[in-house]
Amino acid sequence: MSVILADVLSPAVRVHVLLSAWQTEWLSLVALSVEVVVTGWYVWATRRLAARGRRWSPWRTTSFLTGMALVVVALQSGLASYDDSVFAVHVVQHLLLMNFAPVLFALAAPMTLALQSSSRRTQRGLLKVLHHPVVEAVTHPAFVVSVAYLTMLLYFLTPYYQFSLEHPLVHDLSHLHFLVSGCLLWWLVVGLDPSRWRLSHGQKVAVLAAGIPVTAILGIALTGARSSIAPMFHTLGDTRTGGSILWVAGELTTLVAMGIVLFQWMRHEEREADRADRRLDAAERAAQGAAGRSVLVAREGGAGSGVPAPPG
């Protein structure tokens, strides 16, 4: 009986399904259309910038295209056909939407591209949006961190997860929520695009560190669960496997990002120290030069007036 139940709940993931079972529901097609339009705009904007004689980093373009490809894999590929039946696959989908794709989008600096490639009128409109009180409130670090991390706890540790599986529209909106919250979070951490909130390296580390206990709590709760996260959809073993993936992959992503930020912080401090040393050296040379000129003037003045110059 348990074997039959395991086949019905949390079915085995088949490679041919992952490769061929592309989503054709109307909402998936709408999402795919939006993804194609946004990608087309990004490529068009880079070409428009090039036509003006300004170079856009190909690494940023590659980052954006890779991030969009991950979103397509998460939402439209055969992976999405398992997102409501296999919890481990749902966790992979969650990581793609909240961690991996958003950090690539942040590295692609789409807002910077929009500002540089658009007309002055459009630039003024975009800057007004960026500095609108609502946008500044929504992008405030405290708000972003709270929404990104607390909703993860709410989603995975309350009946809301099963509720979303029972209501497909809620499930799809949850995907959108995690993608947007992930983009806002990594926008702060990467910091390439203009923002009202410019974080120091220490603040970036703090933002990332805030996610470590959240991921640990989720990992411990799910891997040590005594019942399935959604008994009508997943087995207990699937719940524990998904929890392990979430715990390990989530913590590794955070630790790698923290390591990169710490490295950048050290490089920044080294450059600041070098600049300070150069300023001190320049000031010392200027002081020595001024002292030498004072002595020379004093000697010349003494010689011209018949008064002996002070001994050198």
| 99-112 tens-digit pLDDT | 999 999 999 999 99
Supply the DSSP symbol for 198: -
Q: How far apart are CA 86 and CA 79, in angstroms?
A: 10
Write down the pTM of the prediction.
0.83
Compute the distance between CA of residue 67 and CA of residue 285 in angstroms, rounded to an integer. Answer: 51
Least confident of 59-68, 238-247, 288-297: 288-297
Q: Which amino acid is at 198?
A: R
The 10s digit of each residue's pLDDT in 1-15 is 334 444 567 788 888
Domain boundaries defined on the chain: 2-272
Range in 115-124, 128-137, 239-248, 294-303 the model is least confident about: 294-303
Look over the chain and give the mean of its residue pLDDT values, rounded to a whole number. 88
Judge contact between 215 and 205, C-beta under 8 A.
no
- Closest by CA position to 101, among listed 132, 73, 134, 137: 73
User: 53 φ, ψ to 5°?
Assistant: 80, 15
Residues 6+ apart with CB under 8 A from 190: 103, 106, 107
Averaged pLDDT, 123-136 = 93
Read off the pLDDT of residues 187-218 as tens digits, 9 standing for 90 and up.
999 988 988 888 999 999 999 999 999 999 99
Look at residues 159, 176, 172, 152 and name the one whose alpha carbon lies nearest to residue 247. Answer: 152
The pLDDT value given to residue 301: 63
Q: Look up residue 57 and give its amino acid.
A: S
Q: Using only the alpha carbons of the chain, give its radius of gyration.
A: 28
